[in-house]
Amino acid sequence: MALTSASTLDDALNQYKDNLRWWESAPTAAAMLEAVLYLLACKPETIAAADQSVSFTSLEALRTKLEPIVAGTAATRNRTSFVIGRAQGR
């Protein structure tokens, strides 16, 4: 799910919880980073859902881990290689 300006804190928390295994794939890492950035941008008084709470310190640390992964994936995803070859016997 893409978070937008119309998204709520609950949307961001749900996306955060849905992507806790962010190391398994680049799209999951990107979704987690999006949720982290949203939560950091909103900075409500407390972030708590049921019996869970998230600290901003832990979000900053997670952001630091996720950004290079997501940026590296985006850079390699658009890479194209061309190989010049010759037919045998020429």
Least confident of 3-7, 14-18, 79-83: 79-83
Look at strands 48-49 and 52-53 and give their pairing.
antiparallel
pLDDT tens-digit map of 8-44: 888 998 999 999 998 899 899 999 999 999 988 887 6
User: What is the predicted pLDDT for the residue at 28?
Assistant: 93
Residues pairing with 49 in the sheet: 52
Q: What is the pLDDT of residues 56-74, one digit of tens each?
A: 778 888 888 898 888 876 5
- pLDDT-derived band at 50 (thresholds 50, 70, 90) equals low
Distance CA 30, CA 70 (A): 6
